[in-house]
Chains A and B, each alone.
Chain A
Amino acid sequence: EAGVTQFPSHSVIEKGQTVTLRCDPISGHDNLYWYRRVMGKEIKFLLHFVKESKQDESGMPNNRFLAERTGGTYSTLKVQPAELEDSGVYFCASSLRLAGSYNEQFFGPGTRLTVL
């Protein structure tokens, strides 16, 4: 079974440009999460989708970040315009959605974003 995949693995852009990151969750996983790790800091939660709906977007840093999950399958995270402080590794995770239990989150390899 394929795991969580993310594209691209690396992206280098200039300040002010736009970048779109993609995450393909494990098939059948309704929950999809985005996290970010800025260098030297902890991995921080950005947002959580249940199918195509945003369940929790309390971690989104500002309105330059837009996440979508049309059709409840893959998700994209767009940063527009990118700033220097957006550099970091963006992780995606997915999990099943079984009532009454906490379901393990499976992580993708991450996208390393560098904003120059």
Chain B
Amino acid sequence: AQSVSQHNHHVILSEAASLELGCNYSYGGTVNLFWYVQYPGQHLQLLLKYFSGDPLVKGIKGFEAEFIKSKFSFNLRKPSVQWSDTAEYFCAVNAPQAGTALIFGKGTTLSVSS
């Protein structure tokens, strides 16, 4: 069965620190990859996505992610976090051959102190 692993449950950073959240998935075929974010009191929203092409994708609010096929990874990065980045981050995978449903990781809570 497909699964998604997020390495960190809770990350605590100071403003201006760099961020990297790990995500690995288990599926051998073609995948679409996503990072979603849920800010306190808000809906889940798409941060960025990868379907094909350049494995380094840029999303909203200065976030980027790199797809490394050989490692089955799709890590999220941001060079300098802000207090407003405090949120829960979810990595998700879709396997097109299996339909359009998303398979999520358990989420990583990011707390940024000012």
Contact = CB atoms under 8 A, between A and B. Distances in A.
Interface of A: 3-4, 31, 33, 35, 40-45, 48, 55-56, 59, 91, 93, 95, 102-110
Contacts of B107: 42-43
6 contacts: A4-B43, A31-B100, A33-B100, A33-B101, A42-B105, A102-B94
Interface residues of B, number: 23
Contacts of A109: 42-43
Interface of B: 4, 32, 36, 42-46, 49, 51, 90, 92, 94, 96, 99-107
Contact of A102 (B44, B100, B106): B100
Contact of A104 (B42, B46, B96, B103): B46
B100 to A, nearest CB: 7
Given A42-B4, A102-B94, A107 B44 contact: yes
3 tightest A-B contacts by CB?
A107-B44, A43-B104, A45-B101
B101 A102 contact: no
Contacts of A104: 46, 49
A103 B102 CA distance: 11
B29 to A, nearest CB: 14
B43 A42 contact: no
Contacts of A108: 43
Nearest to A46: B101
